[in-house]
Structure 1
Amino acid sequence: MSAELKSSRQDGTLVLTLSNPSAKNALHPDMYAAAIEMLAIADRDDSIRAVILTGADNFFCAGGNLNRLLENRSKDRTVQADSIDSLNGWTDALRNCSKPVIAAVEGAAAGAGFSLALACDLIVAGNSAKFVMAYVKVGLTPDGGGSWFLARALPRQLATEIILEGKPVPASRLHDFGLVNRLVPDGTALAAALAWAEELAALSPNASARIKTLITEAAGNSLHAHFEAEKHSFVDSLHHRDALEGIQAFLEKRKATYK
């Protein structure tokens, strides 16, 4: 099968590459299971400090394969439902991974590819990259959490425009709204993401994981509930070995080394 999710390591960074050369890295259910497994490994492996999701051949992802979707119309409805459940599992794994996850986007992130990029903690994009939720163009609606992410990250009117019109949105526009973190010259998104991942890898793994959890839970918490969550996280962090190393390093004016 030509569609696969490739993995490689660069020091403490796990790089996951969407690869489907004949279809602009269109997604396939086999990728979903592989991604969930690899992210679970990243969670357990202390030597992995960050994860990057990118696409092969300077193109992030064209989304779902329309030929496969057309075939699924002749099958029981549960076939497509199960496929979306698996995609949602991938999105969930990206959100809940204890390591920082960076999307490195070149070319375009379309449909579920856009959803996967949104599920990452940070997004680096080439200057001419585009993001598109074109489901409406073929009579469909978003999956993979795309509408959830956009509705929370952007003003209602902009989120509605992006999803309802289904037109490509330049990375620069999303950068203006803070949805894309960094714009870089075309062809350098992966290199920029790797450099950023190296910076993040030098930080406390314990604190990084806890910060991700706090941010994820903040949207569903009341302020007072979040006060409690922050309090428990802070106290637990203070009594973790990373805080001892971090505080001592600061007081001794040296660089902290986290294990």
Structure 2
Amino acid sequence: MTSRTTQFETLTVERIERVERITLNRPEDAHGVNLTLARELAVVARECDQDPEVRAVLLTATGRFFCAGGDLKEMAAHADRPGPFVKELADTLHRASSSFARMAAPLVVAVNGVAAGAGFSLAISGDLVLAAESAKFTAAYTRAGLSPDGGLTYALPRLVGLRRAQELILTNRLLTAPEAEAWGLVTRVVPDAELAEVALAAASDLAAGAAGSNAAVKSLLLSSYGNDFEAQIELEARTIAACAASPDGAEGREAFIAKRAPKFA
């Protein structure tokens, strides 16, 4: 296994084979999203989107918190212009969210602890979401007199339905990891001590798969929210034809016929 590590001010970014592992690194502030973290996350997300060597991305943190949401202390420091500052903060975070959603590589999120506010939005944005048994989830926005960002009002009702989304956002209900799994917010709950290993294994498995197929799945699922049925099935037909004509498609067919494991490029 080969790896390299890049240290930002608020993130640690490590390349492990073809997995880019991004670790939120503001433990003294519960990994809160300040403007620096949002900017660095946007930079890393864009790099993952543009680097064909990145075949899967793993987003996680350390300690008791995954991410406590927006940095309210930094917001308070801009009390003379709170609206423009928070708009800049949200726009910057959303550049990261958009890159993660539209990049070819699947995103695995490993939620190691409390995910609140923008941290909740980040936590549920993964293509796979693994949660430690001790993880907890809460919207927390209205408690601070704020409204959601980070794509929460897009993803949450699609995952849990409108009524549950309303309850979670308006009442700030705290969900345990097993409750979040039961509601469809996370893919799987794993013991705390196993989260890092299990998450890296999941990301590595995705990275070893057919990159074109993974990218196609992400793109098709994202487009399904805006397409009618006929448009979506036409897009499916065109996309599967392109996959079939690719080198990975040829390898997949040959491996199936030969009854062996495929070896994708």
Q: TM-score, normalised by structure 2?
A: 0.92
Map residues 104-115 of structure 1 onto 2, 5 A cutoff. Answer: 104-115=110-121
> Aligned residue for 2:195?
189
Superposed displacement of residue 171, structure 1: 1.4
Deviations 1:48-104 (A, max 9, x none): 211000012353111111111122231263222121111111111111121010110
Q: Does 1:50 align with 2:56?
A: yes
Q: Does 1:37 align with 2:43?
A: yes
Q: In 1, are the aligned partners of 2:213 and 2:243 still within 8 Å (CA)?
A: yes
Cα 1:128/1:42, change in 2 over 3 Å: same
Q: Does 1:4 align with 2:10?
A: yes
- Runs of 4+ in structure 1 over 6 Å off: none
Percent identity between the two aligned chains: 33
Q: In 2, are the aligned partners of 1:3 and 1:25 still within 8 Å (CA)?
A: no
Superposed displacement of residue 6, structure 1: 1.4
CA distance in 2, matches of 1:228, 1:122: 26
Superposed displacement of residue 47, structure 1: 2.8
CA distance in 2, matches of 1:144, 1:110: 12
> Aligned residue for 2:174?
168
Superposed displacement of residue 120, structure 1: 1.6
Q: Select the residue among 124, 133, 147 that pairs with 1:127.
A: 133
CA distance in 2, matches of 1:56, 1:127: 14
Q: RMSD in angstroms over aligned alpha carbons? A: 1.5
> Aligned residue for 1:81?
87
CA distance in 2, matches of 1:241, 1:18: 36
Q: In 1, are the aligned partners of 2:49 and 2:100 still within 8 Å (CA)?
A: no
Superposed displacement of residue 202, structure 1: 2.0
Q: Select the residue among 144, 153, 157 that pairs with 2:150.
A: 144
SS in 2 for 1:36: helix
CA distance in 1, matches of 2:194, 2:69: 22
> Aligned residue for 2:5?
none
Q: Select the residue among 14, 19, 25 that pairs with 2:25.
A: 19
> Aligned residue for 1:95?
101
> Aligned residue for 2:185?
179
CA distance in 2, matches of 1:40, 1:221: 26
CA distance in 2, matches of 1:172, 1:217: 30
Q: TM-score, normalised by structure 1?
A: 0.95
2:154 alignment partner AA: W
Structure 2: tracts of 5 or more residues without a match: 1-7
CA distance in 1, matches of 2:112, 2:170: 24
SS in 2 for 1:52: strand
